[in-house]
Copies of this chain bind each other. A is one copy, B any other.
Amino acid sequence: MNQIVTNKDPEKILRNYLEKGNLRKTKERFSILKEIYNLKTHFSVESLHEHLLREHYKISLATVYNTIEHLLACKLIRRHHFEQNLSIYEPAIGQRQHDHLICSDCGYVLEFCDPRIQQIQDTMGELLNFRITGHSLHLYGHCNKLKENGICPHFEKKK
């Protein structure tokens, strides 16, 4: 680390990454990044692609997949694997470290922070002689409101 990266502007990070890798700065790549950061939510490749079409971009699914790989490589997004075999992504700049609570009924994702997870990391790293670099914690459950009235309050957000 002989260069301190202070810039938190996603577009500049992408530009920098593409230049370093001798990759092309295509309009598709920047459009996809822009829309991801507009959305600010968790998304799948398919939901992102549908969003792009609604916004009248002419970008193919294959290009979305291609671009996602680059955005992962330069850490502009993170990939998650929740209960289904479907990759879910989220923008990764300007967010606190957090974990996820996933509703098993509607797939709705809530974010939370708990300092005890850091303590677990420290304890286990020492105990098992590992240098821990990160974690993923998913809690799964059901909205209590679902039990009360039979309607999942997040259901309309279901795909």
Interface residues of A (CB under 8 A from B): 81-87, 101, 103-104, 110, 112, 114, 116-117, 119-121, 123-125, 127-145, 147
Contacts and interface: CB of A to CB of B under 8 A. Distances in A.
A147 B114 CA distance: 30
Copies of chain A in the complex: 2
Given A81-B85, A82-B81, A128 B101 contact: yes
10 closest A-B pairs (Cβ-Cβ)?
A: A132-B141, A81-B81, A130-B141, A85-B85, A137-B137, A135-B139, A116-B116, A129-B144, A131-B142, A114-B120
Nearest to A148: B129
A135 B131 contact: no
Contact of A124 (B85, B125, B127, B139): B139
A118 to B, nearest CB: 10
7 contacts: A85-B85, A110-B130, A116-B120, A120-B139, A130-B142, A131-B142, A131-B144
A132 B139 contact: yes
A139 B114 CA distance: 15
Among A101, A128, A134, A139, max chain B CB count under 10 A is at: A139
Nearest to A137: B137
Contact of A135 (B123, B138, B145): B138
Contact of A117 (B120, B129, B141): B120
